[in-house]
Each structure stands twice: as structure tokens, then as C-alpha cells.
Amino acid sequence: MHYWRKNAFNLLAEVAHTAAAVPAWSEYARFCEALEQGVRKKAFAHLDLFIEQGAGWPFSRQKKFVSWLYNFIASHDDAYMLLPHPLSEKLVMPVLMRWIEMEPDDGEPHRWLGTPEHLREAIRLNPDDDIARRSLVEKILGWVGYAVHELPHGYLGQPAADLEALAEADSVAAGIADAERRALHAAQVREMRAIVVAWMNRADAG
């Protein structure tokens, strides 16, 4: 039925099973189960009820759910259906912002907010945060990748600034504990830097 998004729907079923084991998360489990079955109206009715319940939880319970959900998403591809916009806007984002206020020395909420500024703060607070390091490197590679994607016809951006960004990515990647991931990102940064430098040399020669 959903063969072209099979992995995403399989994850819904997996998360529904896991969440069902936590009584407070039962409506979220039902949301995932109904969405996996393709019953969207029913799914989002369960989600609305879950958000309403979650808004009244103690902060410690809210934080536990948000941490569990994001850690699951970070470790799986095609997990985008697990965090729909209403859940993000009405429950998850407010919890992350409150988390930062209540526990300013904890880098985890910064990691999940995921902007470059928050990722840098997550790494400052916890230099061993591989997820934040990988996320920041991937963002920088994405920016520079966009800047070079129309070469040789033109460069979208400022090559010198992109080289500075790649230098940051190189430094951040060097701190990744996972040797395979560290080597992969280092190679990606080298490749992107070579493309930018080649363009700059061509522009100077022209």
C-alpha cells in the first residue's frame, strides 16, 4: 500500500509498539498505529488528545518523552512522520525552550533545536555530543553544496565565507568519536573545499 515510503511506515509500527508500553504515551501510540494504517483523521484525533494530555504533565515527564522521541528519530532514517507539525509546535518546541531555561548547562535541548547557533551551544556544553557535531557538519556541507550546485555556470554565495564555514566543519568533524563517521565527514569537507578552491582559482584566472 505504502511501498514507496515503506520504511517510514514500518517505523510508525515500531514506535507504536514501543510507546504503547508507557501508559502516559498511549495516545501517541494510537496516533502512530492509525497513521501507519492510513487512517489520518483518526490518527490526528489521537494526536490532539496526546498533546492536550502532555501539556499538563510535570516537566520531567515532558522532557522524558521529547528526549526519547528525538533520540529515536536521530538514529533512524525516514522518521519524519513521527514528529508532525502540531506535535512539534504545541508540545515539543515549548518543552525544549523550557528545558533550556530550567537546565541551562544541559546541551541536549540545544541539540534537538538544531539551528547552527544551538548546535554550537550543544557542542560547547558537551564536546562529546556526536549527534550535534554530525548535525552541524551536515548543515555546513548542505549550505556549501547549495552554493556550488550550479557550477560551472555560477557560484551562489561567497566562496571565501564558504571556505571559513568548511574550516569550522573540519574542526567540528575532528571531534566526532565514531571513527568511520569522522573519516566520512572529513572526506566530504575535503571534497567540497577542493570544489570551492577550484572555482576561486578559475575566477582569478579569468
Residue 94 belongs to a domain: yes
Query: What's the whole-number mean pLDDT along residues 43-71?
Result: 98
Residues 148 and 200 in one domain: yes
Residues 96 and 20 in one domain: yes
Domain count, the chain: 2
Percent of the chain clearing pLDDT 90 (strictly above):
88
Please state which of the ranges 16-30, 119-133, 144-158 shows the lowest mean pLDDT: 144-158
pLDDT attached to residue 6: 78
Count, in order, helices (H) and strands (E) of the chain.
11, 0
| 206 has a pLDDT exceeding 90 | no
Residue 75 belongs to a domain: yes
**Enclosing domain of residue 14:** 3-102
Which amino acid, 23?
A: P
Residue 51 belongs to a domain: yes
pLDDT attached to residue 1: 46
- Band the pLDDT of 205: cuts 50, 70, 90: low
Grid look-up 566526532 returns 176
Residue 47 belongs to a domain: yes
70-104: burial string, b at 16+ Cβ within 10 Å, e else: bebbeeeeebebbeeeebeeebbeebbeebbeeee
Residues 89 and 16 in one domain: yes
Residue 61 belongs to a domain: yes
How far apart are the C-alpha atoms of 168 and 185, rounded to whole Å?
Answer: 12
pLDDT attached to residue 52: 98
Residues 92 and 145 in one domain: no
Query: What's the whole-number mean pLDDT along residues 155-161?
Result: 93
- Which of 77, 102, 127 marks a domain boundary? 102
